[in-house]
Structure 1
Amino acid sequence: MNPLLQQIQHGGVIGAGGAGFPTYVKLDCQVELVLANGAECEPLLYKDQVLMQRWGKELCGGMLIAMKQVGAARGVIGIKKKNADTIACLQAQLPSGIELLLMEDVYPAGDEVELVYQATGKRIPSGGLPKEIGVMVNNIESFINVFHAAQGIPVTETMITVHGEVRQPYTAWLPIGLSYREAIELAGDITSRDFIVVEGGPMMGSVTDNLDKPITKISSGLLVLPRSSRIATIKMRSEQNLRRIGKAACDQCSMCTSMCPRNLLGYPVKPHLAMRSLQVSGANNLSYALAAQACCECNLCTMWSCPEGLDPSRVCATTKRALRDEQKLLSPAQLQANTTEVHPLRDYRGVPTKRLVRRLELADYAQTKAEFRECELRVNRLYIPLSQHIGRPAVAVVKVGDRVSKGQLIGQPAPDALSVAVHASRDGIVVEVGESIVIDCQH
């Protein structure tokens, strides 16, 4: 591994806001195009806009470092046309070799496959990776973290949007290991008596009522919503119920497939057939179940398309899990063989974000932008997980009683494995070492 990739690995850089794939591995390739995903199509989230407006120099610096590493002569930042203030900020400081891709305000414009297609006119092979068509994609915060890591500054904070049933929605840098409770308290009083928290965006995020969970490197948003809201009701259905109701109520109208962004690009995903698999057993079941494998779980079918209020997205997710457990998944080559041409009506079936916001019952919240805030925190304890990324957890290099300072290495990458380092996000004393390292910051 070359010195730059080692710096990025030991700086703890991963995909911020996604699945948490280690960035040093993504940069270990040779491609023609480096693509920064600034589409930010999840309603209410504002973190990428803040980052591009205020840390544009670092973003471009990180992209240039990545471009040199992968041998790319061209860099592109994907951003929606509606974000005129952000566009103006970026255009004033774009270096040679980096340009903007202005996108329509539709969901899911920020999906990696959609973004790559818009930037290049090429499709990532079904079941494949962007590098197979000469592209490397990362999100905005990850490129900023690459820039910092190249200067020896590790990842200790992440940009978070807190919104929903709170008095003062905000976006801010928050230390990794801070509890959801403390992050939400910074937004003032919670304005709902019975609420849940969506981790991430309202479309693809998951729900929790555990406010003691810690913020990690992949945290992007905390949305406080009433437990009775449409989003909470759908996301809190049990797997047993969603499959039982789907089996009884799906009338095979195929709207989920007709509006599926991946299907419109020609990928072999047909949510209505995955729903049909609930009703069919025996030999025919497998062919229907396999229609779920290429699903990206953008949730558009569930939150927008289905007239019955069913959950094709989670049916696809649970079906994929069953196929994986039974070792029945198709190979990438088989998936690619089933890929068809881009649908001729694709350009006319994008879902406008404003209409999606109304369907999600978020219009009242969307009237308030979660503006950037400088937060002065008095942190008591931080719970910093050693596993915040895809791959092996970091290995603790501190013990109970050690005094640590912000930025100090507390977990080194696991040897000979896909793994990245973890660092202290505030000064303090280590009081517990396990799956997480607990730091008392009051001393």
Structure 2
Amino acid sequence: MDPFLQQIQDGGVIGAGGAGFPTYVKLDCQVEWVLANGAECEPLLYKDQVLMQRWAKELFGGMLLAMHQVGASRGVIGIKKKNADTIAVLQASLPDTIELLLMEDVYPAGDEVELVYEATGKRIPSGGLPKDIGVMVNNIESFINVFRAAQGMPVTDTMVTVHGEVRQPYTAWLPVGMSYQQAIDLAGGITCGEFVVVEGGPMMGSVTEDLSQPVTKVSSGLLVLPRESRIARIKTRSEQDLRRIGKAACDQCSMCSSMCPRGLLGYPIKPHLAMRALQVSGTNNLSYALAAQACSGCNLCTMWSCPEGLDPSRVCGTTKRELRDNNQLMSPQQLQAKTTDVHPLREYRGVPTKRLTRRLELAEYALTKAAFVELDKALEADVCQVSIPLSQHIGKPAMAAVKVGDSVAKGQLIGRAVPQALSVSVHASISGKVISVSDVIVIEREK
């Protein structure tokens, strides 16, 4: 493997959000463009703004290293026009080969496909990858981690926003493996009765009530919301209920398809046909079900478009799962053949983030910015135990490189990437003693 790519793999760098795709694989290509996604269009999240404001030089450094590796001549950082303070910081030291793409404050501007189209005027092929059109995309934190890994600093912490029903919302570097409970305690605790925690953003995040779960490299937000909130009600609805209600109540108004961001870009996704597939059987069912395959899961149809309060996004997700299980998915070539021109009204159908925030019933929380907090040594010492999964990314889990009873230092290798496989290394996020080794390595701080 190329020495630089080996450094990135050994440093444990993955996409700091989403599915956590290993970054060393993304960098193993030759492209013209390198894009940094700083749009951050999920309401309440603030981590990307903090990273760009405080670690701009490391962001630039990571992008320049990536550009050199992939042979790119153009670097672009996508950021919303509204973030004037962040833009000023970036412009103060912007390298000549990197430019800013100032984006409208709409959802989902941060979708990879949207960013690529806005930056380059090109569309990623249906079922394809950005590199197919000469583009490599990563998020802000990943580029910072690329820079650090090149300096021999592995990934041990991740930037997370904690917001919602907590006393003091904040954004901070948190050690990988820290429990949700500990992260929420740093925000002063929960301020409502029954609650759920949204892992990620309110639009695309999942929900849990298990506060023992660990923060991972892909964690971006922990949003505490009342169990009776609109977001919680929608996200906790059972699959059986969402399909039963959708089958009975969908009136085929097609608003979900009219407002679908991927559909407006010409990709072959029509959520209303996926909803129709719930109501029919036989050969027609398959043709309608295939209209779900190009869904990105942005959730705009569910949280914004549907006047009946149905869940077309999850119906598309469950339909795609069934198509995959039955080997009925279309090939990339078939998907591309169904792709149409960009809709002439696309630019007028962007959903303003402020209006979306109100629709999500988050406007009151949005009045408080989750400002950056530097965890002092005393607070760090309160994190007396971490549980670090060996699998935090797409691909093979790392192989344990320690045993029970071993003393480890922060940054020490505890999980080794699997050779000749899609895999990255894992490192200790605190110094202490290993007390458990399985698919999760538990480290306890020594007193």
Number of the residue aligned with 2:309: 309
In the alignment, structure 1 residue 76 sits paired with structure 2 residue 76: yes
Number of the residue aligned with 2:165: 165
- The separation in 2 between residues aligned to 1:190 and 1:388, in whole angstroms, is 27
In the alignment, structure 1 residue 384 sits paired with structure 2 residue 388: yes
Letter in 2 for 1:399: K
Number of the residue aligned with 1:208: 208
Number of the residue aligned with 1:442: 446
Deviation at 1:252, TM superposition (A): 0.1
- The separation in 2 between residues aligned to 1:93 and 1:180, in whole angstroms, is 36
Give the number of equivalent residue pairs. 443
In the alignment, structure 1 residue 93 sits paired with structure 2 residue 97: no
- The separation in 2 between residues aligned to 1:379 and 1:186, in whole angstroms, is 10
- Which of 390, 398, 421 in structure 2 is aligned with 1:417? 421
Which runs of 5 or more structure 2 residues have no equivalent in the other structure?
none
Provide the secondary structure at the position in 2 that maps to 1:275.
helix
CA contact (8 A) 1:394 1:413 kept: yes
- The separation in 2 between residues aligned to 1:323 and 1:291, in whole angstroms, is 11
Letter in 1 for 2:48: D
In the alignment, structure 1 residue 243 sits paired with structure 2 residue 239: no
- The separation in 2 between residues aligned to 1:302 and 1:404, in whole angstroms, is 46
Aligned CA RMSD, in angstroms, stands at 0.5
Q: Deviations over 1:326-382 (max 9, x none)?
A: 000000000000000000000000000000000000000000000000113221210
- The separation in 2 between residues aligned to 1:442 and 1:152, in whole angstroms, is 25
In the alignment, structure 1 residue 128 sits paired with structure 2 residue 128: yes
Deviation at 1:416, TM superposition (A): 1.3
- The separation in 1 between residues aligned to 2:273 and 2:445, in whole angstroms, is 53
Letter in 2 for 1:319: T
Provide the secondary structure at the position in 2 that maps to 1:126.
coil
Provide the secondary structure at the position in 1 that maps to 2:198.
strand
Number of the residue aligned with 1:7: 7
Number of the residue aligned with 2:38: 38
- Which of 408, 418, 422 in structure 1 is aligned with 2:412? 408
Written as runs of structure 1 = structure 2, the 5 A alignment for 1:2-401 is 2-376=2-376, 377=380, 378-401=382-405
Deviation at 1:18, TM superposition (A): 1.7
- The separation in 1 between residues aligned to 2:326 and 2:368, in whole angstroms, is 47
Deviation at 1:19, TM superposition (A): 1.0
- The separation in 2 between residues aligned to 1:385 and 1:373, in whole angstroms, is 25
- The separation in 1 between residues aligned to 2:430 and 2:167, in whole angstroms, is 27
- The separation in 2 between residues aligned to 1:73 and 1:125, in whole angstroms, is 22
Q: Deviations over 1:289-341 (max 9, x none)?
A: 00000000000000000000000000000000000000000000000000000
- The separation in 2 between residues aligned to 1:105 and 1:97, in whole angstroms, is 25
Deviation at 1:442, TM superposition (A): 3.4
- The separation in 1 between residues aligned to 2:236 and 2:173, in whole angstroms, is 29
- The separation in 2 between residues aligned to 1:40 and 1:381, in whole angstroms, is 31
Provide the secondary structure at the position in 2 that maps to 1:118.
helix
- The separation in 2 between residues aligned to 1:441 and 1:47, in whole angstroms, is 27
CA contact (8 A) 1:379 1:442 kept: no
Provide the secondary structure at the position in 1 that maps to 2:232.
helix
TM-score scaled by length of structure 2: 0.99
Provide the secondary structure at the position in 1 that maps to 2:321.
helix
Provide the secondary structure at the position in 2 that maps to 1:251.
coil
CA contact (8 A) 1:80 1:102 kept: yes
- The separation in 2 between residues aligned to 1:14 and 1:385, in whole angstroms, is 14
CA contact (8 A) 1:106 1:353 kept: yes
- The separation in 1 between residues aligned to 2:396 and 2:303, in whole angstroms, is 34
- The separation in 2 between residues aligned to 1:98 and 1:252, in whole angstroms, is 45
Deviation at 1:189, TM superposition (A): 2.8
- The separation in 2 between residues aligned to 1:92 and 1:19, in whole angstroms, is 33
Provide the secondary structure at the position in 1 that maps to 2:136.
strand
Provide the secondary structure at the position in 2 that maps to 1:430.
strand
